[in-house]
Every structure is written in structure tokens, then in C-alpha cells.
Structure 1
Amino acid sequence: MRIEVSRSTELDRWVADRDYLKSTPAGARLRLWVLDDTGERIGAMMWGRPNARQLDQHALLELTRMYLVEEAPKNSESKSLGLARKYIRKNMPEIKGIIAYSSTGMRHEGTIYKADNWFELGRSKVSTKGWSNRVGRENRDASEKIRWVRTP
């Protein structure tokens, strides 16, 4: 398994077509394809600035989307995270920490992050506001989120 950098928003569309949220956030700083041993695309990751504005927007990188196909080999998610961290360490030395969130509403309890030695920093409160202040937007997953962090 390996990763490949993408400079195209084709990756965004690929993820949006498959991910349960059916969308991708704007402004990805890093897009990575996940490829199997034959070079077939089995997944993708998008990394961007932290969503929480009070966090350091330059020294931190947030995993904003990650999707791997069901047929991906066992442990592919945590292996992909390890490959991404290696890339970030080598090519983005300004990044001192990485963040990800898992949705308890989707029964994502952070197994892949635990397997890659991330630690739980905290949990969000359940949101009831949503995106009602923006036309055409809605909060599709307002469940509690677990914040995971680690060094690249």
C-alpha cells in the first residue's frame, strides 16, 4: 500500500460521492490518494486547517475527510494514517500536530486512531444549532465528536 499526492479536486468529488456526509470541505492543504499494491485507488484523505478557529492554523493540520473502500485490506485505515504522517513530517516541517474527529453518531469510536497511537483530547457537545444561518446548508451529523491528536 502507498499514498500519492493529488493536486486535483477530482479527489474531492471521489470522496463526496462515497462518504456518508456526501460533501467535502473547501480549502484542503493536502490531498492524498491511498493505493493498493497494484496501484488501484482504494481510498483518499483530505487534510486542511483546523476547523476550530482558536487552534493554531499554521502549525496544526486536520484530517477533514478519509474514505477507504470496503474491499480495502484489513488495517488499511491506520496504515494510511501512518503513511500520511510520514509524508507530512518530511514535506511539511511547519506542521507540529495533527487532529482528527470521529463521529459517535456514526458509531466511529476512533479505533483507527487508537491503532496509530493517537490520543483522545476531548469530546464535543451535541450541537442543536446546525447551519440554519446559511441558505442550503444543514448539519448532517450533529452528534458528539471525539477529538484525536498526535504529532505527525
Structure 2
Amino acid sequence: MRRPTSETPDYIRGSNGVWGFGCRNFYVAAIPRADACRMVIANHYSRRIVNNSYVHLGVFLDGQRVGVLQFGYSMNAMHAGKVVANTGPTEHLELNRMWLDDAAPRNSESRALSYAMKYLKRACPSVRWVQSFADERCGRLGVVYQAANFLFLGSHLTAFYTLDGETYHSMLLTAHRKAGQRGEYLRANLNRAERHRLRQFRYVFFLKPSARRDLRMRPRPYPKPPGDGATAPAPPPASGR
């Protein structure tokens, strides 16, 4: 793949299809899975990859890779129809991991997201919509998704556990087959783990505008931090709804 030469954002094409989207000084482009995983493990706050990711995009600034985005199946892929009706197993993606170097200019995250959505429209034509979550642990309420024109669909409480300096999702307690050694370790040491209930903010972007007709959740005003002209949404009841 050659680096784009135009100042006008456009698709980056290779010998066998679309490779990315962007312009000469800033673009996203497909990279090998191994490279993406190394970047996530080395730099993402979780230090962990999501094994079912299958779309891997590097973020490039002046030809140098300064970030990574990984998309794949959602954690609860079978429940996707509760968010957008009539969704088949290959018709939605979840942004599993995103990291950009602090050296990237202001607004680079939302710009990378916007370019990634344009890439997915061409590279993954069966995908109708993309979902991502902003984690309360990061304290930013999903401002990068707001800047990239994602819809906000509300928040829910999720239980997390901290144990020996690592964070574990509560699903590891019940998903015995898929949880692997991490789940086994959490269950064996649950008496030492500290439980937290944190909000996750759900955002959705429609690659196919017609799919919005099937949206089953009501879009809501963007959450804002206290003191920013609005009040952050109150935590939902214990049911998470």
C-alpha cells in the first residue's frame, strides 16, 4: 500500500480492494492482526486484546503509525437484535479496542473514527451498524464518539472486579468455556477481589442509513461532565435499565 498523496480525504485502494481512507498527512489503513495486537498490548490501558477482533486498522500521521483500532464481534453478539432489529450475525461490528499516541494532534481520535467508518462502508459491505462503549473508568463519557457523530443510546451499570492490579469483567464468572485462565483465576480468588459497579455508555453509528429504521433503543442527548453546561446522566437502577 502506498501512502496517499492528496490533501483531500479519499479511499486508499490496493491491488485487491480498499485498504483505508484519508489524506496525505492523516489516514487509517488495514494492518496485520499481529501488529495491531502488539500495539494494543503495549499501549492500551487494558493491556489485553479481544480475540474475536478481525478488522485491524492502523492510524497514520505523516506516514508514521500512531494508533490502532480493532473491530470484531460484540461480547453479546446474539443480543444485537435487541439494539437494532433484523441484525444478522455478520451485520454489525463492535469497536473492541482503540488507542492513539498522545503525540497525535487534538481531535485525532474522532477523526480516526470518522475515517474508519468510511473505510468499513466499502471494506465490509454486509455490516449495517457499529457499536462501541465508553467506560466510566476512563472518565470521558464518550466525547470522541460524540465528535464523530455516533448516536448515544444510554448507559447501563456493569460489574467489574479488581484483583492483583488487573480488572476483570463480571461475565468471566459465568462464561466458563470462553473465560479461559482469567475466568478460572477470578473464580478461584473471588474472595480477594474488589467489586465495582461502573457505567458503560453505549454509542452506535449506522453505516447503512436504512438500518436506523430498525433501531429499538431511543437516542438520547449526549452526556456531559458536570460543570460543562449539563449534568452527567444519573446511574440507572440496579437492573441496568
Going from structure 1 to structure 2, the CA distance change for 1:137 and 1:69 (only over 3 Å counts) comes to farther
1:137, 1:30 → 2: CA distance? 29
Going from structure 1 to structure 2, the CA distance change for 1:48 and 1:142 (only over 3 Å counts) comes to farther
Corresponding position of 1:60: 92
Once the two structures are superposed, residues 35-73 of structure 1 have per-residue CA deviations (whole angstroms, 9 ceiling, x without a partner) of 002x11110000001212311431111100000011111
Unaligned runs of 5+ in 1: none
SS at match of 1:21: coil
Corresponding position of 1:135: 184
TM-score w.r.t. the length of structure 2 is: 0.58
Say if 2:200 is the partner of 1:145.
yes
Comparing 141-150 with 58-67, greater Cα deviation is found at: 141-150
Corresponding position of 1:105: 137
Instruction: Find runs of 4+ consecutive structure 1 residues off by over 6 angstroms.
Output: 138-141
Corresponding position of 1:19: 44
AA aligned opposite 2:68: A
Higher relative contact order (CA 8 A, sep 6+): 1
Let me know the Cα RMSD of the aligned residues: 2.1
Say if 2:114 is the partner of 1:90.
no
Comparing 41-50 with 5-14, greater Cα deviation is found at: 5-14
Within a 5 Å distance, the mapping from 1:37-56 to structure 2 comes to: 37=62, 39-53=63-77, 54-55=79-80, 56=87
SS at match of 2:158: coil
SS at match of 2:198: coil
TM-score w.r.t. the length of structure 1 is: 0.90
SS at match of 2:70: strand
Q: Is the 8 A contact 2:33 2:54 kept in 1?
A: no
Once the two structures are superposed, residues 10-56 of structure 1 have per-residue CA deviations (whole angstroms, 9 ceiling, x without a partner) of 2112111111111010021200000002x111100000012123114
Unaligned runs of 5+ in 2: 1-25, 81-86, 161-168, 175-182, 188-192, 208-241
Identity of aligned residues (%): 24
**Once the 2 structures are TM-superposed, how far is the Cα of residue 137 of structure 1 from its aligned partner?**
5.3
Corresponding position of 1:124: 156
AA aligned opposite 1:50: S
Aligned length: 151
